Structure formats: structure tokens, C-alpha cells
Structure 1
Amino acid sequence: MELTYQVDRDHAGCCVRQAARGPMHLSEKLWRKIKWNGTITVNGSPVSSPSHRLEAGDRLVFQWEETAAVIPVHLPLAILYEDEDLLAVDKPAGMLIHPTWSGARDTLAQAVGGYFRQSGQKCGIHPLYRLDRDTTGLLLVAKSAFAKHALTRSHQEIYREYLAVCEGDLAEPRGRIHLPIGRVAEGVDRWMVREDGRPAVTDYEILADRGDHTVLKIHLLTGRTHQIRVHFAHKGHPLVGDPVYGTRDPRIARQALHAWTVRFCHPRTGEEVFLTAPVPEDMRGLAGSRVCTAFLPQNML
């Protein structure tokens, strides 16, 4: 991977390390990796000392090698967006993001690894947030520690919206659920609202009322495990088809939850990027075609 910085007047006189941790926004871990195992040049000439002073107009370049500790597997992969720093994929239902045992061969991280190997890319694999096994939709993957650090410094770096369908009618057209979430019991992969849990905040807006179910647009202000599913189940409106926090439903073989859109400032260019994942067929029947296309850009209709 390569990262370039043209030294401006405000940072003239700073050293290489200060530039790395300041205007280039590198994490301490990545900076150490570049310092010991990468290449640093200033105006094309190698620099070995992190104390080397920079002048306005200098071209500082860092180069390093990214690796991924997964077994690459060639699996179908729906790519929504790609550049030198990021990959956005449309995750299907039934796929884990990371291997949970040494013999796993069907996770999204391994599929990304297979794609990188096939396309000749030497990249890291850094999923920037979690999606449950049966939650579909847009997953953003950083190709380097640089992009990962830039987009995970806080939860608010990436603005995410979900499409969900819950049981019953909600009283208010929009609202905020601010209730702490913790494990049901130690070692159990099931969660609940509890006073000693971690803070969790969920915003929602009703897109359509279907009588026995409600179609929602949801934004998470925190990123707790199963947050949307737990919050709406606690309110008496579990997601349709949720086998853990609600009941199974013949209309859909999983919880009706889809990672719909993301919006963020690109870590390299600073430009705003908006991405969306098409609503899968099993949720289109519940949400309705009008809802599924109402918030998409015109070129996606």
C-alpha cells in the first residue's frame, strides 16, 4: 500500500513522525509497522530517520505491505464499490463475516480474500462493522490499516441506515430507543435490555404501516451486538421472522433486517461517498416495491 502527503506551510518544519501521526492520521500501530518494515521517501529519496525535518512542498511517501490472516476461498461476491482503499460488498443471508473455527471455508472475509488473490491485489481485510449471519446488505471493508483507522475512530465516522420490518404497529412515526444492552448470561450469545448493560441508542422512522407489520428505516448511534433486534423485541415489536428474539414467520426465513445505505468521508480524498445495497427479494414482499426504491438515487431505480 502507498500513502502520499504533500507538506503544506502549516506543517513545514515538522518531522516525519509528526506528519504521520498528524496530518496523515496514521495509527501508532501502522506508523510502527511502516517505520520498521516499510519504506519512507521524501522527494523520491529514502529516509531512515523519523526525526527527518520536512519543508513546505516536500512529497512524503509511505509504502508498506498489507497481509490478511484468512484462507482465501473463491466464492460468489457481489461487489457494490471498490477503490484502492475500500471494498463494499452486498452480504447475503447465511454468511458469517469472520471464520469462527479453523476449518471454516465459507465466510465473507475468506470470499474477499479469494477475490483479492484472483485479482492480484495484496490487501488487508478489515471489515469496518459487524452484520449478523442472517442480516443482509452493505458491508464496507478497508483494504489497509490506514483506511480502517480513519473510518473507525468513532462510531459516527460512517453513517449507516438499515431497512427493517417489525411486528405490529408503532405508536409514533419516528422515535429514539435509548436503552442499555448486555448479555442475558455470561457466555451466552443472546442479549437483552438491562440496567447494567452498555449504552445503546437506536433512531427509527416508519416508512410504511402494513397492519400486522411495520416497515422501518433505522439509524444506529451505537454499535452493540444485536442492537436493533434487542431494542425492538424489548418494545414488544420484534423483527418479523427473528428466531431468537421473536418468532419464525413463513414469509421470510430469517430476521427482516437489511444494511441499506452508508455515507462517509473518504479517508484519502475527503470526498463524501454514498453507497446503497439493493433490498433482497425476501424483504421486498414485506416492505413493498415503493418503499424499497423510495430512498435510492435515480440511477439505482
Structure 2
Amino acid sequence: MTKEQIIIHEDIKGTRLDKALSELTDLSRSLIQSMLKSGDILVNNESVKANYKVQTGDTITYQIREATELVAEAEDIPLDIYYEDKDVLVVNKPQGMVVHPAAGHMSGTLVNALLYHCQDLSGINGVIRPGIVHRIDKDTSGLLMVAKNDEAHVSLSSQLKNKTSDRIYLALVHGDIKHQKGTIEAPIGRAKEDRKKMAVVADGKEARTHFEVVERFGDYTLIKCQLDTGRTHQIRVHLKYIGHPLAADPKYGPKNTLNGHGQFLHASELGFEHPTTGERLHFEAPLPNIFEETLSRLREKSERDL
């Protein structure tokens, strides 16, 4: 357990303790509030609440407990496998499945299923993310490539970094996008007002998304997106940024939207060079039922409105 100490200066006095600590340290607001409840943060050697307003000269002492290493367990969960050999596995992840274990999601993840299916996964990303080269969000469905050894992992990661792999998504968004195709190039980082969200921010990391309209429904548009970069929530953030948030997106979309099990976003196509043979592989996965049924209803409505 490590113990740290901070003395409050004039320029930050009057700020809530949890906000002050989040600005002065790398700790998140949620972790700070948890540490306050467990007595791991003291002000002048006394326990206080998160809304305590810090004063000039206050001494804040906090201790960070050693993290307990998470261990992923193998679970007999069915997998929709599109391709597998000794180096690579391609799987179609269902909507609602988390990719790898984390606090609050230690079971039922894609990694838990992969560990049951095969024991030979790359170890580059550690015991919690074996074989995981790239991720998609819990409520995003579609294709993922998995590395079964470290050599394959290095090759697949390099292809992602060098933008030589293909990742194509189908997204249903609000509104009628004016242009038939376009590119959104805007840096993405943590949202200033809500650290649990991502946003287009001046000091964010480079992010580029290409899109093309597939079908129009008046109030909604089906588009195809191709990523040049892989920032967290990139498609969801970029489409919101241009005024066309994803339908049913609980984090970035409007409340008045279509019924779904989360955002209508599907990783429909995946292409890459096989790390051993050099053969170019390409896979396509059909839309989930709820996505296809929603499009059918939108088509029927569009025809009635003509």
C-alpha cells in the first residue's frame, strides 16, 4: 500500500475535495469517492465527505491499496466462430457480451468463452485479455480477430497500427445525412464534463472515420463506416459530433430513439493478412436479428410515407 500527501494551495481553495483530487492526481472521481468511503483519504488527519471544500494549507493524505490481480476463468459459453487455425481465430461477438473481464464483469465475457474453447492464446495483453488484439463495445456486435500466439498478436497489432487491416461497420444513425459519403477527422479524448465519456476535444488523439450512406429512411440513415484509427467509442463519438448520433445509443444518443438493446452498430466486415501464410483473409457477418427487423420496419414506414 502506497501513501501520498498533497498540500492545498490558494489557487484551488473552495473546490470540492473529490474534484480537487481528480485535478491534482491521476485518480478518477469514482475511485476517489470509493477511497473516501473506505477511509483511505484524510484531510488534516480526519475523515471528510466528497463535498468538503478544500482550504489553503489543508494536508490531504491518501493511500492506494495494492490491486488484487484479476484472473479470468474458462466458461462454457457458445461462440460463433467464423475462422480458426493454429494462429488466428475470428469470432462474431453478440450484442450484450463484454470482450474481456474487468471489475464488475468477471464472467460471461468473450475471454471467458475463449479460454474454454482453446488454451493457446497470446499472452501479450496479460491474463485478463489473452488473445485480444482489438475490442468492440459491449452493445456493439460483430467480428473480432483473436491471436492464438504472440507472433500472430504482433502481426495483427502491427496491421491495425499501419492501417492495413479492414474494419467496416454498419451503423444506424438519427437524421438524414446530407452527403453520400465523407470523412470525419476530429481528435478524441476524455470528455471534460464527464470522465466516463469520450468526446471530440482539442488535446485528444488523432481519429479518422470514413462513412458512406447505404440506405435512407427519412428520420434515420443506415451508413457504412471504415476506421483508420481505433479510439474508444470512435464511431459513436464522431457521429454525435456531426449531429447524427447512433440510434438507441444510451451514452451518446438522444432519449427519444428506436427500441434496441443498445446502439445499432455492427462490425460487419473484417479483413487482414494472415500472420503466417500472408494470405489476405476477408470475413462478413450478417446483421443481428433486432437490427435487421428494425430496418425492415423503417423501410415499411418509408414506403407508407411516400
Q: Mark yes or no: TM-score above 0.5.
A: yes
Instruction: Tell me the residue number matched to 1:163.
Output: 170
Q: Matched residue of 2:294: which SS?
A: helix
- The counterpart of 2:137, out of the listed 120, 128, 132, is 132
Instruction: Tell me the residue number matched to 2:206.
Output: 199
Structure 1 residue 102: deviation in Å? 7.8
Aligned positions of 1:50-89 closer than 5 A: 70-89=72-91
The range that moved more, 149-158 or 266-275, is 149-158
Establish whether residue 145 from structure 1 lines up as the match of residue 143 from structure 2: no
- The counterpart of 1:276, out of the listed 266, 280, 284, is 284
Structure 1 residue 285: deviation in Å? 2.5
Q: 1:86 is matched by which residue type in structure 2?
A: V
Instruction: Tell me the residue number matched to 2:114.
Output: 112
Instruction: Tell me the residue number matched to 1:233.
Output: 240
Structure 1 residue 148: deviation in Å? 0.6
Confirm or deny: 8 A CA contact 1:208 1:287 kept in the other structure: no
Confirm or deny: 8 A CA contact 1:165 1:286 kept in the other structure: no
Confirm or deny: 8 A CA contact 1:162 1:260 kept in the other structure: yes
Confirm or deny: 8 A CA contact 2:121 2:131 kept in the other structure: no
Distance 2:183 2:105 in 1: 41
Point out 4+ residue stretches in structure 1 off by more than 6 angstroms: none
Q: 1:259 is matched by which residue type in structure 2?
A: A
CA 1:72 to 1:247, structure 2 compared with 1: closer, same or farther past 3 Å?
A: same
Distance 1:151 1:213 in 2: 35
Distance 1:135 1:199 in 2: 22
Confirm or deny: 8 A CA contact 1:173 1:205 kept in the other structure: yes
Per-residue CA deviation, residues 140-185 of structure 1 (Å, 9 max, x unaligned), is: 1010110010111125132110010100011110000001111013
Per-residue CA deviation, residues 113-141 of structure 1 (Å, 9 max, x unaligned), is: 0111xxxx433331221100100000110
The range that moved more, 137-146 or 98-107, is 98-107
Taking only aligned residues, the RMSD between alpha carbons, in angstroms, comes to 2.1
- The counterpart of 2:121, out of the listed 111, 120, 123, is 123
Structure 1 residue 234: deviation in Å? 1.0
Instruction: Tell me the residue number matched to 1:264.
Output: 272
Structure 1 residue 247: deviation in Å? 2.4
The range that moved more, 242-251 or 205-214, is 242-251
Distance 2:222 2:194 in 1: 33
Q: Percent identity of the aligned residues?
A: 39
Distance 1:169 1:123 in 2: 43
CA 1:94 to 1:103, structure 2 compared with 1: closer, same or farther past 3 Å?
A: closer
CA 1:122 to 1:197, structure 2 compared with 1: closer, same or farther past 3 Å?
A: closer
Q: 2:73 is matched by which residue type in structure 1?
A: I
- The counterpart of 2:223, out of the listed 216, 229, 233, is 216
TM-score, structure 2 normalization: 0.68
Confirm or deny: 8 A CA contact 1:167 1:213 kept in the other structure: yes
> What is the number of residues matched between the two proteins?
219
Q: Matched residue of 1:126: which SS?
A: coil
Confirm or deny: 8 A CA contact 1:162 1:258 kept in the other structure: yes
Distance 2:157 2:293 in 1: 34
The range that moved more, 275-284 or 102-111, is 102-111
